[in-house]
Structure formats: C-alpha cells, structure tokens
Copies of this chain bind each other. A is one copy, B any other.
Amino acid sequence: MSPWSAARPGDPVSAIDTPALVLDLDAFERNLERMAAALRGTAVRLRAHAKAHKCPEIARRQVALGAVGVCCQKVSEAAVFVAAGIEDVLVTNEVVGEAKLRHLVALARSARIGVLVDDPRQVDELAAAARELKVTLDAYVEVDVGAHRCGVAPGEEAVQLARRIASSAPLRFAGLHCYQGSAQHMRAPEERAAAIAAASDAARVTKRAIEALGIGVECVTGGGTASFVHERDSGVFNEIQAGSYAFMDRDYSDNRLGAGEIAFEHALFVRTTVMSRPTAERAVVDAGLKASSVDSGMPGVWRRPDLRYVKASDEHGVLATPGAATVSLGDTLMLVPGHCDPTFNLYDELVCIRGDRVEAVWPIAARGAVL
C-alpha cells in the first residue's frame, strides 16, 4: 500500500493527494436516510451489502439507521465485519471447500452467520462443519430467479434443498435467497419492474411449496439499489440487500427512474489531478484503471459536461477536451466511478469530506478480502 495517506482529518479538500477515493458525507448521509425512509413502516428490513464498501465504519452507520446487519460475498470479508462488531452477517454466496468451511463456522461463535446453498453436497458439508464446532448456522436456498448465475430452479428443486437443510441440524433453514442481479442494470424502469415481478412470482411459488411441507420460510431476501422498491412492494420479500444506494456510481445513474423509484445521489468520487495537457483536445489525469474500475465503463467527470473521460490505462486517464474546455496542468477534478464496488476494492482508505474539509479517513478494512 502507499507509504503515506492521501489526507488527514482537518485538511482542506484542496490538499488531498490524488488519486484518492472520496466520500461526500452530506450526500452519503442523505442516501442512508432516504433508504431508511423508503422501508420505514413496512415489514421489509435492510441488510446492507457490505461487498460494495468493505468498510466497517459504513456498516456501523447502516446498522444504526435500522439495517439488521450486512451481507458479504466472501468468508474472509465476513470475518472482517464480525471482528469489527457487526453481529449479523449473511454470506450471499455458496461456500465450498474444507478450509473455507472451517473459517465460516468459526465466525458463528461470535455472530449470527448465514450462508447460501444450491447443492445437497454443500448442505451436508456445512452441517458437518457446524456440528464439529457445535455452532448454529443459518442456511438459505439460493433460487435462480432470472439472473442465471448460481441457484437452483424455483419450485421442486428448491423444496428438496430446503427439506434437506431443515433435517440437517445444527443448520437452520432460514429462507430463500432470490437476487435478480441482471435487473439492476436494465435501463428502462418497466423492464426492471417486469423482471422483479417474475422474480417475485418464482419466490412466491417456491415459498408456498416449502410451507406446504410444514417448513417455515422466515426470510425471503434479495433486491438491489435499482430494483428494491419492487421487492419491497412484492408481498413476498422481507429483506433487501442494496449496497450501492449509499454511494451511487455512473452505471447505476445511467438507469432511468420510474414512478415511485428513489433517486440517490452521487456520494463517491475519485479525486484526480491533471498531470499532462499535451494538446488542446486532450488532458491526462492521474487516475487510471487502478484508481477507478472500468468493468462497467469509464468514469464520469463530475459537473464538467465539457470533459469526457475516454480512455483508461493502468495509471492514466485520458480526457477529451474539445472546443473551449478550460482545464490546465495541476487542476483537480472529481470522477464518478463506473462501478463503486470494485473501485472501493482498489483503496485502503476512504477520505470523508464535508464541505471543503476532510472530516475523517476510514480504513477500507476488507479491501482485498477475496478468500
């Protein structure tokens, strides 16, 4: 990691070394409050997805505003949040292999831990590992409700797995994981609504079939930033897994909002400096693809519609500066990352600003926790 920090609390924003990952606390707090308000008075709770930020300070603020806990995508990531005092962590993933299972069940000594399954072998191995350590573990059946990644088909296959979990103490059958990931990036609101209507139908049918066996389905969990109002209103989901809502990235803001959908603000930025101005049509900034992940496209340039970030190499970003764009060597700009999750994963620290001051620097403690 860098031998020095990009900033210290109390610094003026203008003194932040670049590139740096910057959180605008005012916008961030408004996003947290907007999500809390959107779920207030409903039977649906938030389980914030911590894979987005990997930062315990953020998780604590999400829990303080009503989140039941967090989701993680990896066992080692979950371990960081449990060590930081988060008491309820769902690993929204299948976990395979003896070493990983040993680490996973160990966490259940200090926190409520959940995990997904989509294969009977996973159920048996989880149960054996939990039994050996004498801990209880929540197991969810992952149902493929349209994303076509992991998960069993809705209906009978899911019912069989639920039955197997229910008879595999000390596993607890905790419910269904029904995340429609591909709906999150559909641009048109009608498309998203239709995708979640189909996902909700699949979840409902599966839930009823399991309940018909006398097995309770305590939780149906899923949903993301771009779709959660539909899961909230579905009557079948009772837990939402949004993560990006707190930050917003360029990709999410490319979605068009429909009636009743919630607008979140850009709160996450990569602060960057113009380090080369070789021609009138081109400026080069010090934030490339190791500073802002490009898997979902190039970053936006905040409040500079006259500038376009057109190309990223490892440590360079090329801006097109057509016409009368005024930008000079040494100027600083704020980029809106194309995808917030992998961008957080590039940084060890998050520089939190309020107005023109650095208020705090938070460790991104689970950065790189890929195991």
Contact = CB atoms under 8 A, between A and B. Distances in A.
Interface in A187-226: none
Q: Is the contact region of chain A dominated by helix, strand, or loop, or is it mixed?
A: loop
Interface of A: 1-4, 6, 15, 17-20, 51, 73-74, 76, 79-80, 83, 93-97, 99-100, 103, 118-119, 121-122, 144, 148-152, 181, 273-278, 282, 284, 286, 289-291, 293-295, 312-316, 318, 329-330, 341-342, 345-348, 366-371
A368 B342 contact: no
Nearest to A6: B371
B99 A17 contact: yes
Nearest to A290: B345
Among all A-B residue pairs, the 6 with the closest Cβ atoms: A2-B76, A150-B276, A73-B315, A1-B368, A2-B369, A96-B275
Contacts of A313: 149, 181
Contact of A342 (B121, B314, B348): B314
A58 to B, nearest CB: 17
Given A18-B371, A144-B278, A275-B94, A3 B345 contact: no
Given A118-B278, A119-B276, A370 B341 contact: no
5 contacts: A1-B368, A3-B79, A118-B276, A148-B282, A314-B341
A333 to B, nearest CB: 13
Contact of A273 (B3, B97, B149, B282): B97
Given A74-B315, A76-B2, A94-B275, A119 B329 contact: yes
A271 to B, nearest CB: 11
Contact of A295 (B3, B291, B312, B316): B312
A66 B151 CA distance: 52
Nearest to A103: B4
A366 to B, nearest CB: 8
Contacts of A276: 94, 118-119, 149-151
A361 to B, nearest CB: 13
B17 A371 contact: yes
Contacts of A96: 273-275, 286, 329-330
Given A118-B278, A148-B282, A1 B329 contact: no
B100 A17 contact: yes
A277 B119 contact: yes
Contacts of A294: 295
Contacts of A342: 289-290, 314
Nearest to A92: B315
Contact of A368 (B2, B330, B370): B2
Given A97-B18, A144-B278, A341-B314, A4 B371 contact: yes
A93 B144 CA distance: 47
Nearest to A125: B330
Contact of A17 (B3, B97, B282): B97
